[in-house]
Structure 1
Amino acid sequence: MHFQWYPGHMTKAKRMMQENIKLIDLIIELVDARVPVSSRNPDIDELGKQKARLILLNKSDLASEGCNEKWEKYFKDKGFSVVKVNSRSGAGIKSINGVIQEACREKIERDRRRGILNRPVRAMVVGIPNVGKSTFINSLAGKACTKTGNKPGVTKGKQWIRLNKQVELLDTPGILWPKFEDQEVGMKLAFIGSIKDEILNTEELAAELIRRLQGRYPNLTEEHYEIEESRDPYETLRLIAEKKHCLTKGGELDLEKAAVLFMDDFRSGKLGRLTLEIPEDYE
């Protein structure tokens, strides 16, 4: 399976981010806690040179807590401010304002020395599609001020949001990068739903995810679906279809339907708190 998805609005969004970066004090980058490296757009580091940086490990409730802590240390060691958040439930959100002030302390001190008081920190919120930016902003602002959706590509233009007297946010559309040099990254982004499912082979995707989970979390599908787990991921998918009565109109096993069900179970956390990348893989 080859992974590529770069709609036209993403080119426009990247250009808009480049134009607005001079107005920004801080870049708040949301990553998916289950794949913290693969869900980082490599263009952001280039874009954010000389800017304060805050990484939010979003959807941290879906990832293993032990791995969340390792990733928090990993990014802090690289000089980022880091907060674990669950934008949907609001966990970790209350600490953000304080972390923003701390991350921009030098800028605030510099303003003070120049006699500029009470100028709000301007932060750009960035992240790949479907990482939860709009949900995060709504949660932080305490109101529905941006469109949200559980499919990639909902936000298509820029929006300024005044949070309070101290912080203004610039929301940006989720952008991928034009070419995945590493198809492994594309695969992981497909797992978490950051590439449109309509352009993917869901059966193949589910089988590959089953194979990886068997390596990292043995007996997971066996226990969750109460089936005899097979070493062949397609056979495991067939057993899930059997157990969940995924049938075609003709009464045949519907592997496509089972694959969609399995992917939904993974993405929603029904399979448990699972992390697909660990810092040791990148050190």
Structure 2
Amino acid sequence: MHFQWYPGHMTKAKRMMQENIKLIDLIIELVDARIPVSSRNPDIDELGGQKARLILLNKSDLASERWNEKWEQYFKEKGFSVVRVNSRSGAGIKSINKVIQEACREKIDRDRKRGILNRPVRAMVVGIPNVGKSTFINSLAGKACAKTGNKPGVTKGKQWIRLNKQVELLDTPGILWPKFEDQEVGKKLAFIGSIKDEILNTMELAAELIRSLSKSAPDQVKHTYDIAGSEDPYEVLREIAEKKHCLTKGGELDLEKTAALFLDDFRGGKLGRLTLEFPEDYR
């Protein structure tokens, strides 16, 4: 199964980021806590240069708390400021402003010495599609100031958002890199919904996810659906279909519908708090 998706507006978005990077003091990068490395765009490190950096482990409620802590430690060791957040519920959002001020302490002190007082920190919010960027901005600002949607690629343009007297945010469209060097990365992005399902083989993707979970959380699928389980992921899909009575009009098991249901269950946290990649694999 080959994973690739790079709409034309993403090329434009990258160019826009390059043009605006000189205007900002801080890059706030949202990653999905379930796949914190695979959901990072490596272009951002290159574009960011020496700017202050803040990583938000978003959707942390969907990932294992134990691994959230380890990932937070991992990124801090690399010099990033880090906050675990759940943009939908607002968990962790209240601490963001203080962390922004701490991350930009050198810049604020430098301004003060030059006699520049009360200039707000300008932050660029970045993240790949469907990582929850617009929901985060709305949650942080306390109002619906950025478009949101549950499909990748909703934010298409650039907009400045005055958060308070201390912070201004520059929202940017979610961008993926032009080519995945590692298809494992593409697969994980497909798992969380950052690549449009319409261009993927849903049944094959669900089977791959079942195969992946059998290694990292071997009993989770069995317990969630109360099934016997099998080493064959397609057999597992058949068991889920029987349990959920997913049938075609002709009374056959509807594995396509079951696969879509299974992916939705994973993405919505119905399978429990699951992390799919681990810091020791990236040290």
Q: TM-score, normalised by structure 2?
A: 1.00
1:267 aligns with 2:267: yes
User: What does residue range 87-236 of structure 1 map to in structure 2 within 5 Å?
Assistant: 87-236=87-236
One-letter code aligned to 1:218: P
Instruction: Indicate the SS of the match to 2:151.
Output: coil
Distance 1:90 1:222 in 2: 31
Please report how far the alpha carbon of residue 225 of structure 1 lies from its aligned counterpart in structure 2 after TM superposition. Answer: 0.5
Instruction: Indicate the SS of the match to 1:15.
Output: helix
Distance 1:218 1:185 in 2: 21
User: What does residue range 24-43 of structure 1 map to in structure 2 within 5 Å?
Assistant: 24-43=24-43
1:72 aligns with 2:63: no
Distance 1:182 1:136 in 2: 28
Distance 2:55 2:196 in 1: 24
Please report how far the alpha carbon of residue 249 of structure 1 lies from its aligned counterpart in structure 2 after TM superposition. Answer: 1.0
What is the aligned partner in structure 2 of residue 240 from structure 1? 240
Distance 2:73 2:223 in 1: 32
1:146-184 deviation per Cα after TM superposition (whole angstroms, max 9, x unaligned): 110011000000010000000000000000010001000
What is the aligned partner in structure 1 of residue 48 from structure 2? 48
Distance 1:216 1:3 in 2: 22
Please report how far the alpha carbon of residue 218 of structure 1 lies from its aligned counterpart in structure 2 after TM superposition. Answer: 1.4
Which segments of 5 or more consecutive residues in structure 1 lack a partner in the other structure?
Answer: none
Please report how far the alpha carbon of residue 221 of structure 1 lies from its aligned counterpart in structure 2 after TM superposition. Answer: 1.3
Please report how far the alpha carbon of residue 247 of structure 1 lies from its aligned counterpart in structure 2 after TM superposition. Answer: 0.8
Distance 2:220 2:72 in 1: 26
Distance 1:271 1:131 in 2: 19
How high is the sequence identity, in percent, across the aligned residues? 87
1:31-55 deviation per Cα after TM superposition (whole angstroms, max 9, x unaligned): 0000000000000000001100000
Please report how far the alpha carbon of residue 281 of structure 1 lies from its aligned counterpart in structure 2 after TM superposition. Answer: 1.0
Distance 1:215 1:102 in 2: 39
Distance 2:219 2:163 in 1: 45
Distance 1:160 1:136 in 2: 15
Distance 2:23 2:257 in 1: 47
1:8 aligns with 2:8: yes
Distance 2:150 2:272 in 1: 19
Distance 2:222 2:3 in 1: 29
One-letter code aligned to 1:22: K
Distance 1:69 1:219 in 2: 23
Instruction: Indicate the SS of the match to 2:221.
Output: helix
Please report how far the alpha carbon of residue 78 of structure 1 lies from its aligned counterpart in structure 2 after TM superposition. Answer: 0.1
Distance 2:126 2:180 in 1: 18
Q: TM-score, normalised by structure 1?
A: 1.00
Distance 1:215 1:14 in 2: 36
Please report how far the alpha carbon of residue 67 of structure 1 lies from its aligned counterpart in structure 2 after TM superposition. Answer: 0.1
Please report how far the alpha carbon of residue 222 of structure 1 lies from its aligned counterpart in structure 2 after TM superposition. Answer: 1.1
Instruction: Indicate the SS of the match to 1:100.
Output: helix
Task: Indicate the RMSD between aligned Cα atoms, in angstroms.
Answer: 0.4
1:91-135 deviation per Cα after TM superposition (whole angstroms, max 9, x unaligned): 000000000000000000000000000000000000000000000
One-letter code aligned to 1:32: D
Please report how far the alpha carbon of residue 7 of structure 1 lies from its aligned counterpart in structure 2 after TM superposition. Answer: 0.3
One-letter code aligned to 2:124: M
What is the aligned partner in structure 2 of residue 23 from structure 1? 23
Instruction: Indicate the SS of the match to 1:241.
Output: helix
Distance 1:102 1:219 in 2: 42
Please report how far the alpha carbon of residue 14 of structure 1 lies from its aligned counterpart in structure 2 after TM superposition. Answer: 0.4
Please report how far the alpha carbon of residue 260 of structure 1 lies from its aligned counterpart in structure 2 after TM superposition. Answer: 0.4
Please report how far the alpha carbon of residue 216 of structure 1 lies from its aligned counterpart in structure 2 after TM superposition. Answer: 1.1
Distance 1:226 1:145 in 2: 43
Distance 2:199 2:227 in 1: 30
Distance 2:52 2:217 in 1: 37
Instruction: Indicate the SS of the match to 2:70.
Output: helix
Instruction: Indicate the SS of the match to 2:130.
Output: coil
